[in-house]
Structure 1
Amino acid sequence: MSQNPSIPPCRVRPVVKLSFDPQTQPVIAPNAVLNPLPDAALQADFIAQAFSRSIEWQVEPVFAKDFLVHRDPETGLLLPDHSGMIPAAVFFPLIQRENGLHVLFTRRTDHLTSHAGQICFPGGRIELHDADVIAAALRETHEEVGIGPDHIQLIGTQPGFITSTGYTMQPVIGLVKPGFVVQPDQSEVAEVFEVPLSYLMDPRHHQLHQATLPDGRQRLYFSMPWNHYFIWGATAALVRNFYHYLAAAHKQL
């Protein structure tokens, strides 16, 4: 695979530890009341169609300044802004089950130096040998949960998100084909679990929190609790953005 010259060399960053417990911070009211997506907008065929068309939409307004929308002029792929940030890619895996589409998440192991124990999508930083963000997302997914590219049907990409830890995290959306076997890398992944897409695409399950940092600044973040799992932060922001895209697509298609 050819090297991507647009990806800067990896830089070592200090570990950023949370100064607050994300599960105990106050929940504030969202700016607008949004409706759950109808069942028609939660089908694999509709989602694939939505990403194959030009949809007029807006990213999550709470984090409008934190989403990046640059595109590669040749491929049309959304690209992260690399100025001072570490580019990263995650795979947003959709899995067809009898009761509808589900989304696959992982829980990071507790001993990791970054985001230990947190819920996330498979993914990681884009390496020099990765051809593009899609190649990075597929590689990381294979390494972390054992799902190879031959079991993935690519659907599209969405804007990258600037994380508080210095990364631009860009999601690659795809459908995991039947017959896959999950084989987690136990050094990084403590658990692999699924959440119904219908649950995630219902804004009544989206909680907007406000945390006060030690220096007095306020930090906003979404959470989407599911059973005993606390999906929050950048991962929840990507899910929220996915909702906005599908909601706009459902009105336009």
Structure 2
Amino acid sequence: MALILKKKLKPAVKQVYESPTGQVFDGISMAKDMTMICLEGGIDALPSHNKQEGDSTDAVENILSTANNTSQQEAALCYVEHFKWSVFPLHWIDDNGCCSCNDNECKSQGKHPLVKWGNEATTDHDQITQWWSKWPKANIGIATGAKSGLVVLDVDVDSGGEASLNKLLDQYGPLPETIRVKTGSGGEHIYFKHPGGKVGNSASKVGAGLDIRGDGGYVVAPPSNHLKGNYQWK
């Protein structure tokens, strides 16, 4: 099965996406500006993305379950050790329900970087330990794109993302099984392996409330906090 969404006709470049637990999302075919998207069914599970020797899909799930229930620092180190994802610290929601940046008009509460993340997102244990020793409550950002080998579909329920995704799934069948995050606002992040080449970022071009986080983007990772609740691996 295939779904093609068009805003204008452009040649698409076929790319193959693999879920971090192994299945191939073959593919999202996309033009440079994300105006043509093609979704096709996945195949049977393959070895998990960036797994350590001896890891299985169950082991990955156990690792992520542990990350839900540990400190931000330990979770950040976990992502680096097991998945080689590049991380960096974000502002957090303080005990008064405000962003730690102390800007009363902050438009990205608990989600914006504490460092120049584009250059500083890292897998270096010493740097990560230094950051979270300085800001122990800092939320966790994961750099998407080739830097971490990830592309993430961000489903924003407040902007109609759940309805958009369900409509596509009803028509064209399920996405391949992969790891997912319940966001603090009740939405969802769906993780896929970066296919190589350039994968841009987009907002609601796939459908209302469906955003693509690729090269030059990032997502907030569990167990980061939000005004409405914590991020959690599902």
User: What range describes the TM-score normalised by the shorter chain of this pair?
Assistant: under 0.3
- When the two structures are superposed, what TM-score results if normalisation uses the length of structure 1? 0.24
| Larger strand proportion of the pair | 1
Instruction: Give TM-score, length-normalised by structure 2.
Output: 0.26
- The structure showing larger relative contact order (alpha-carbon pairs under 8 Å, at least 6 residues apart) is 1
